[in-house]
Amino acid sequence: MTTFFLAGLIFLVAGVVQGLTGFGAGLLAIPLLCLIMDVKLAVSVCIVSTLAISTTMAYDLRHYLDYRKILPLLLGSLPGSVVGTLLLKGVDPLLIKTLLGLLLIGVSGFNLAFKPRPVNPKVGWGYAAGFLSGAINATVAAGGPPAIIYTTLHDWKKEEIKATLTGFFMLNGYFTASVHAGNGMIGKDALGYFAVTLPFVLAGTALGSRITGRINRRLYLQIVYGLLAALGVLMLVG
pLDDT tens digits along 174-201: 888 887 788 787 889 999 999 999 999 9
In sequence order, which residues have a C-beta less than 8 Å from that of residue 208 and are 6 or more positions away?
A: 15, 16, 17, 18, 19, 20, 21
pLDDT tens digits along 39-93: 888 888 988 998 899 999 999 999 999 999 999 999 999 898 888 777 767 777 7
pTM of the model: 0.87
pLDDT tens digits along 153-173: 999 999 999 999 999 989 888
Q: What is the C-alpha separation between 117 and 156, in angstroms, rounded?
A: 12
Indicate if the alpha-carbon torsion angle 87, 89, 93, 95 is positive or negative. negative
The predicted pLDDT at position 157 comes to 93
Q: Lowest-confidence range among 3-17, 19-33, 92-106, 134-148? A: 134-148
pLDDT tens digits along 95-149: 888 888 898 899 999 999 888 888 999 999 999 999 998 888 777 667 688 999 9
